[in-house]
């Protein structure tokens, strides 16, 4: 026994000290589409990869651009925008590395709500009736503006045919309720809350206005990509595993499948919506179970920003996408099969 203990001690000495977890600083706004990050953290998937995720709160993805550029943030979670591409032209380096919220068929979680009185009176029956309306959005020169433009195009209108107002999703819901806005683009859970309050009605889900739009993404800082590539890959492995757990919980366009009870409890704990029943009925976001973002959709949105004159320098939008990490994770985990 003594010889065995000595042998084990020698082996431990050769192995050296236990490797400490790598800390990864992650910027997020505690929105519903952060669910994949929440799952990876709560279910120990980051820990399994030797990573401690330090979640840093921000009010918007725009505020994450500077710390991502300096490397103070390793990962950011939010919507792409014209500002992202302008920052890239100023050598503020970051990469789009994964899907965080998209709208495949049945998962149009970014919705156009219209003041209930306008619909009941017959004043607004189609997008052709939006001309001159006060329409709320959360992201000036961002992905929400592209959604709005695509919706208006269905009614033969242009982006400039409405009067846009920008504020947070809870503020948009309140503005619909008090009549300050005629319509608004709102994601869940604020959309369901506004509908439940009786002030607005669902006019069109996002997958009808702009199918498969890439509304939210995961960013890596250049420091994460270049200097911590091995950690970046481990982070992505955990993220894609969590994306598959999330997809398993989706059934028939709602969060009611296997494992959904745990995910609802997690969302109640980490977001502002505390009503479990709403999570069951609301339209959830889509997330690619292989992790990768919709590059063609991102390019389409960039073309809109550039056409509006919002991107002020020549930028190749594809140069901001780095899908090697999600591709490797999907290869590691194998083909996804819905449970």
pLDDT of residue 20: 57
pLDDT of residue 92: 73
Which CATH number goes with the domain that contains 28?
A: 3.40.190.10
Q: Tell me, yes or no, whether 126 and 264 share the same domain.
A: no
Does any domain span residue 242?
A: yes
Report residue 18's pLDDT band, with 50, 70 and 90 as the boundaries. Answer: very low
Q: Tell me, yes or no, whether 82 and 219 share the same domain.
A: yes
Q: Tell me, yes or no, whether 140 and 244 share the same domain.
A: no
Report residue 29's pLDDT band, with 50, 70 and 90 as the boundaries. Answer: confident
Indicate the angle between helix axes 324-333 and 229-248, nearest 10 degrees.
Answer: 60
Write out the residue range of the structural domain in which residue 26 sits.
21-103+214-333
Q: Tell me, yes or no, whether 94 and 114 share the same domain.
A: no
Domain boundary among 204, 231, 259: 204
pLDDT of residue 2: 44
Does any domain span residue 8?
A: no
pLDDT at 99 over 50: yes
Domain boundary among 204, 231, 258: 204
Report residue 36's pLDDT band, with 50, 70 and 90 as the boundaries. Answer: very high
What contacts 171, CB < 8 A, 6 or more positions away? none
Q: Tell me, yes or no, whether 85 and 134 share the same domain.
A: no
Per residue in 268-306, pLDDT (tens digit) is 998 878 889 989 999 999 999 999 999 999 999 999 999
User: Residue 187 is encoded by which pair of tokens?
Assistant: 């994601």
Does any domain span residue 7?
A: no
Does any domain span residue 260?
A: yes
Q: What is the mean pLDDT of residues 130-157?
A: 95
Q: Tell me, yes or no, whether 92 and 156 share the same domain.
A: no
Domain boundary among 161, 180, 204: 204
Are the C-beta atoms of 271 and 72 separated by less than 8 Å?
no
Percentage, residues of the chain above pLDDT 70: 94
Q: Tell me, yes or no, whether 178 and 281 share the same domain.
A: no
Q: What is the mean pLDDT of residues 114-131?
A: 96
pLDDT at 182 over 80: yes
Are the C-beta atoms of 100 and 218 separated by less than 8 Å?
yes
pLDDT at 8 over 90: no
Q: Tell me, yes or no, whether 291 and 254 share the same domain.
A: yes
Does any domain span residue 244?
A: yes
Does any domain span residue 10?
A: no
Q: Tell me, yes or no, whether 166 and 82 share the same domain.
A: no
Instruction: Tell me, rounded to whole angstroms, the distance of Cα 138 from its chain centroid.
Output: 14
Q: Tell me, yes or no, whether 173 and 123 share the same domain.
A: yes
Q: Tell me, yes or no, whether 169 and 195 share the same domain.
A: yes
pLDDT at 192 over 80: yes
What contacts 174, CB < 8 A, 6 or more positions away? none
pLDDT at 15 over 70: no
pLDDT at 59 over 80: no
Number of domains in the chain: 2
pLDDT of residue 264: 95
Does any domain span residue 5?
A: no
pLDDT of residue 236: 98
Does any domain span residue 3?
A: no
User: Residue 213 is encoded by which pair of tokens?
Assistant: 């739009």
What is the rounded average pLDDT for all residues in the chain? Answer: 90
3-state SS string over the chain? CHHHHHHHHHHHHHHCCCCCCEEEEEEECCCHHHHHHHHHHHCCHHHHCCEEEEEEECCCHHHHHHHHHHCCCCEEEECCEHHHHHHHHCCCCEEEEEEEEECCCCCCCEEEEEEHHHHHCCCCCCHHHHCCCEEEECCCCEHHHHHHHHHHHHCCCCHHHCEEEECCHHHHHHHHHCCCCCEEEEECCHHHHHHHCCCEEEEECHHHHCCCCEEEEEEEEHHHHHHCHHHHHHHHHHHHHHHHHHHHCEECCEECCCCHHHHHHHHHHHCCCCCHHHHHHCCCCECCCCCCCCHHHHHHHHHHHHHCCCCCCCCCHHHHECCHHHHHHHHHHCCCCCC
Q: Tell me, yes or no, whether 123 and 187 share the same domain.
A: yes
């Amino acid at each position: 026994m003594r010889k065995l203990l000595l042998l084990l001690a020698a082996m431990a000495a050769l192995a050296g000290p236990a490797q400490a977890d790598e800390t990864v600083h992650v910027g997020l706004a505690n929105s519903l589409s952060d669910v994949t990050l929440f799952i990876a953290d709560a279910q120990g998937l980051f820990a399994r990869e030797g990573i401690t995720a330090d979640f840093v709160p921000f009010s918007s993805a725009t505020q994450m651009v500077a710390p991502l550029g300096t490397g103070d943030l390793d990962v950011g979670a939010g919507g792409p925008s014209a500002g992202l591409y302008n920052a890239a032209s100023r050598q503020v380096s970051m990469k789009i590395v994964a899907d965080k919220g998209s709208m495949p068929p049945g998962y149009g979680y970014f919705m156009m709500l219209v003041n209930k009185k306008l619909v009941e009176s017959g004043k607004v029956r189609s997008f052709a009736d939006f001309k001159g309306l006060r329409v709320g959005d959360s992201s000036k020169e961002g992905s929400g503006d592209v959604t709005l433009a695509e919706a208006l195009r269905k009614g033969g209108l242009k982006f400039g045919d409405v009067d846009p107002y920008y504020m947070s999703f809870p503020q948009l819901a309140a503005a619909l309720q008090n009549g300050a806005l005629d319509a608004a683009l709102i994601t869940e859970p604020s959309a369901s809350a506004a509908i439940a309050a009786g002030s607005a009605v669902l006019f069109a889900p996002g997958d009808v206005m702009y199918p498969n739009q890439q509304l939210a993404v995961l960013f890596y800082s250049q420091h994460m990509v270049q200097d911590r590539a091995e950690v970046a890959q481990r982070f992505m492995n955990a993220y894609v595993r969590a994306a598959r757990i999330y997809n398993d919980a989706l059934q028939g366009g709602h969060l009611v499948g296997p494992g959904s009870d745990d995910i609802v409890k997690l969302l109640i704990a980490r977001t502002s919506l505390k009503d479990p029943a709403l999570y069951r009925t609301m339209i959830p976001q889509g997330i690619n179970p292989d992790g990768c973002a919709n590059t063609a959709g991102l390019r389409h949105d960039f073309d809109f920003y550039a056409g509006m004159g919002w991107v002020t320098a020549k930028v190749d939008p594809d140069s901001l996408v780095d899908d090697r990490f999600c591709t490797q994770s999907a290869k590691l985990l194998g083909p996804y099969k819905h449970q």
